[in-house]
Amino acid sequence: MSEAVFEQVLLIGKYQVPQAQRLLGDIAARLSRAGVEVVVDEDTARHSELPYPALSNRDLPLRAARGGWVAVVLGGDGTMLGAARRLAPLNIPLVGINAGRVGFMTDIADREWEDALDAMLAGRFEREERAMLAGTVERAGVPIYRAIAVNDIVVNRSGASGLVELKVDVNGRFMYVQRADGLIVATPTGSTAYAMSAYGPILHPSVGGVVLVPIAPHTLSNRPIVLPGDAAITIEIGSQRDVSVNFDMQTFAELIGGDRIHIGPAPYRCVFLHPPGWSFFATLRRKLHWHEIPGES
């Protein structure tokens, strides 16, 4: 890493928790003492009392275009997902410090952040790019909603109705009609999220693929399937009501029968910076409580 990468740090935090607010202040102070310019995300600044300048969402794209930015995100995976969707188009890499429960994406433990940041400021880190999904909802041939996702795009029933019927095409070819509670389209990053709880496979982040995982399918032979990462997926809604599409479970649109969701790779990737020695397999062992090697914490 060149020194320019850490010329400016955008600090984003889970400000709802008092302990997290104190930790945000400690992180900002340490970065500032290291000679890094610290600015605070607009929403974080609004809900905290950090004595650092705030950067509005409106001004961020212009400032980011000059380069030399990195975002330090304190929170859980939900905080990281929101930051990644917003910053990936601006090519701003993210460093995640875990203040949540699971933390697959925020991989620096809150008790280890000082040593990790010191090492990263000195240029010792692992850089990783991850694929994202882009989705467009089309109604009567007219696009009505667009969003991107780091983890997954999920089509499911939104009310107390029965199974939803979904017709799925891949690269213009009919694949199947799925009758289930819903369907998850997940990136490798999202394969350890909702898709995993629906018994989908874990994909290594470097795999160029996307996984389709049915949620409680009517027919047990409807199994998860891994498709090429550049696949063009179209999901047509056969049910008439109580169906929604969610992007990372943070943005959603209500659907009606005949709506189509077109899903494909996003035109940009999110960039994560990990502390030196980071390993995806170590993350799986720690988070999923797999058998650990002797001496590993």
CA quadruple 249, 11, 29, 17: dihedral sign: negative
> How far, in Å, are 215, 232, 259 from residue 71 at the CA level?
34, 31, 37
Chain centroid, CA 91 distance in Å: 15
Nearest residue to 228 via CA among 262, 264, 201, 195: 264
3-class DSSP state for residue 43? Answer: helix
Cα(118)–Cα(275) distance, integer angstroms: 10
Cα(272)–Cα(177) distance, integer angstroms: 36
Helix (H) / strand (E) element for 282: namely helix 280-288
Under a CB-based contact definition with an 8 Å cutoff, are residues 236 and 258 in contact? Answer: yes
**Residue 87: CB atoms within 10 Å:** 23
Catalytic residues: 77
Look at the block and give the residue holding tokens 């890094």: 36
Cα(181)–Cα(118) distance, integer angstroms: 47
Cα(22)–Cα(33) distance, integer angstroms: 17
Nearest residue to 25 via CA among 7, 8, 44: 44
**Residue 218: CB atoms within 10 Å:** 13
Under a CB-based contact definition with an 8 Å cutoff, are residues 185 and 169 in contact? Answer: no
Helices (H), 66-202: 77-87, 113-121, 194-197
